[in-house]
Amino acid sequence: MNKLDRKLITTLGLGWLGFGIVGSAIAFALPPTQITILIDRSFCPQDKWLAIASAYNDLYQQHQNRDLQIKEVITFSDIGQEVLSTIPSPDTVRSLNTYGRFNQERQKQLQASYSQPKLLSCQSP
């Protein structure tokens, strides 16, 4: 191998190494946004619930693509609330039953309790 080939390989290798280091530094310095999803399970007509499931599907796909990170999913109604142990699939959310009445006080309390909450609800804001 002559001197020119060796310099070319060294330059390319150092270039790729630098590229990898800069990419890693950017990924470390700018992690994806972490959100908590609040799903209002108070009674909701089927067509509106399908719109909520579709909105959740969009968030879930962003989570799968690592554009954002879903920290946790919490479902609630006037009867109670549940912190889900795993991030549910869009099909699981679509199949959830709605029950109870809308409780604006619980909704406000939950939104204040979590950083970066994303509310999915049938009720108008």
The answer as to whether 125 is a domain residue is no
Domain that holds residue 115: 33-120
Is residue 43 located within the same domain as residue 92?
yes
Domain count, the chain: 2
Is residue 9 located within the same domain as residue 60?
no
* pTM, rounded to two decimals: 0.75
Is residue 24 located within the same domain as residue 43?
no
Query: Strand pairing of 68-76 and 33-40?
Result: parallel
Rounded to whole angstroms, the Cα distance separating 112 from 109 reads 5
Is residue 53 located within the same domain as residue 18?
no
Rounded to whole angstroms, the Cα distance separating 56 from 60 reads 6
Is residue 22 located within the same domain as residue 59?
no
Q: Consecutive sets of 10 residues in the chain, 125 residues long: mean pLDDT of each?
A: 82 90 81 90 92 96 92 91 94 92 90 91 75
- Main-chain dihedrals φ then ψ at residue 58, nearest 5 degrees: -60, -45
Is residue 21 located within the same domain as residue 37?
no
Question: Is the alpha carbon torsion for 99, 104, 105, 106 positive or negative?
Answer: positive
Question: Is the alpha carbon torsion for 63, 64, 66, 67 positive or negative?
Answer: negative
Quote the pLDDT of residue 1: 67
Contacts of 92 (CB under 8 A, 6+ apart): none
